[in-house]
Structure formats: C-alpha cells, structure tokens
Amino acid sequence: MPKGYIIGHVTVNDPEDYQEYMRRNTPILTGLGGRFIVRGGQCQTVEGTGRDRHVVVEFPSFEAAHAAYHDPEYQKVAEIRHRTASGDIILVEGSE
C-alpha cells in the first residue's frame, strides 16, 4: 500500500508564535502515525515561486494522512498556523 504525505509549503509571518504551532502539532501528528521527514532546513527554489519553509510528514497510507489532517485536535492547533503563516498544505499519495 502506498504511503501518504502531508506536504506544507509555508511562509512564516510571525516566527515567535509559529514556534507554538510546531511545538503543539508534533505530538498530535506523530501520535496519529506521522513521521516528519522534512521540516524546515536548507532549501533552494530552482523553478517557480517558492516559500520559506517546507514540511513533509509521512503516514502509513493516504487515508491516514487525510485523517490526521482532518483530526479535530490537529485542526484546533492549525488555527495557530493560519494566524502566523501563509502557505499551501497538500495531501499526497506516494508511489509504491
């Protein structure tokens, strides 16, 4: 079964308060089976329009990634991200 991913491309507008989002989302997403495989770090946009920060969270399946994103506890914490950053969040099914 292919894995599932939550992929975020984010521009952080309030770095101090964004830290609270990161602190609180980690135990939720890992508790739902996620594993952070990309979380910030060095990046370079070589084509198109880029963002400042990139995050990839791997899940056992697309359905698990979908359920984690829509989890009520995560959605409550995501409100912090909505206030402190702008970006694109994408759910993606991996290849086998």
> What's the one-letter identity of residue 62?
F
pLDDT at 20: 96
Q: Is residue 74 part of a domain?
A: no
pLDDT at 74: 97
User: Is the per-residue pLDDT at 40 higher than 90?
Assistant: no
Q: Is residue 75 part of a domain?
A: no
Q: Is residue 73 part of a domain?
A: no
The per-residue pLDDT of the chain, averaged, comes to: 95
What are 60-70's pLDDT values in tens digits?
A: 999 999 999 99
Distance CA 87, CA 11 (A): 6
* C-alpha 22 chain-centroid distance: 9
Distance CA 74, CA 38 (A): 19
Q: How many domains does the chain have?
A: 1
How is residue 82 written in tokens?
A: 């909505």
pLDDT at 62: 98
Model-wide pTM > 0.85: yes
Q: Is residue 72 part of a domain?
A: no
pLDDT at 49: 86
CATH of the domain at 13: 3.30.70.100
pLDDT at 11: 95
> What's the one-letter identity of residue 36?
F
Q: Is residue 37 part of a domain?
A: yes
Q: Give the residue-averaged pLDDT of 34-43.
A: 94
Q: Is residue 24 part of a domain?
A: yes
- What stretch of H or E contains 93? strand 85-93
Give residue 30's domain range: 4-43+50-67+80-93
Q: Is residue 89 part of a domain?
A: yes
How is residue 81 written in tokens?
A: 């991200």
Q: Residue 27 burial by CB count (10 A; 0-12/13-18/19+): exposed, middle or buried?
A: exposed
